[in-house]
Amino acid sequence: MPCLAIVRVRGRTGIRPEIKGAMKNLSLTRVNHCVMLNETPQIRGTLNVCKDYVTWGEVSKDLLAKLLEKRGRLPGNKKLTLDYLKSKGYDGFDKLADAIIAGKAKLKDVGLKKVLRLKPPKGGYKFTKLPYPRGALGYRGEKINDLLRRMM
């Protein structure tokens, strides 16, 4: 059961209600927001509904550790620190990334906000109305790591 990184690419206007509901279920309320979820049939179905507004793929362990270090936030918009992780029983960002990818932990369970707020990608999205590889939408597989690296 791989860990998927799901990033919202398109905005909020002109969306059908069922797609808006699917986005709300994924906690993707704004552009460039990212969530980490384990792949289940329910998540696959939700992604199929909102595939014209998001991009997703399997995130690598080392990139997830960097994302958590740079963009992980505690309630009150406080930065995630190594001391906080040690108080929760994790030796470092790598151990937390391992646990998330293995499905043993979720961002919310550790006390983090479940949405990672990212910057717009350096070099921009290709085209926000076409599916990957010609555009920015849909399933990317391992190539999501390249996009996330540009958005850190």
Distance from chain centroid for Cα 151? 11
Cα of first residue to Cα of last residue in the chain, in angstroms, is: 25
pLDDT of residue 86: 93
Domain locations along the chain: 3-60+116-151, 61-110
Q: What is the pLDDT of residues 76-88, one digit of tens each?
A: 999 999 999 999 9
Cα 60 to Cα 97: distance, rounded to the nearest angstrom:
9
Per-residue pLDDT band for 1 (boundaries 50, 70, 90) equals confident
pLDDT of residue 60: 94
DSSP 59-109: PPHHHHHHHHHHH-EETTTEEP-HHHHHHTT-SSHHHHHHHHHHTS--HHH
Q: What is the DSSP letter of 121?
A: P
Q: Across the chain, what does the average pLDDT equal?
A: 93
Task: Look up the CATH superfamily of 3-60+116-151.
Answer: Ribosomal protein L30/L7 (3.30.1390.20)
pLDDT of residue 2: 85
Per-residue pLDDT band for 117 (boundaries 50, 70, 90) equals very high
pLDDT of residue 67: 95
Tokens of 58: 């399997």
The predicted model scores a pTM of: 0.93
CA angle 36, 81, 101 (to 5 degrees): 25
Interhelix angle 61-71/93-102, nearest 10 degrees: 120
pLDDT of residue 5: 95
Q: What is the pLDDT of residues 19-73, one digit of tens each?
A: 999 999 999 999 999 999 999 999 999 999 999 999 999 999 999 999 999 999 9
CATH topology of domain 61-110: 3-methyladenine DNA Glycosylase II; Chain A, domain 3 (1.10.15)
The answer to whether 25 touches 46, Cβ cutoff 8 Å, is yes
Pairing of strands 3-8, 54-58: antiparallel
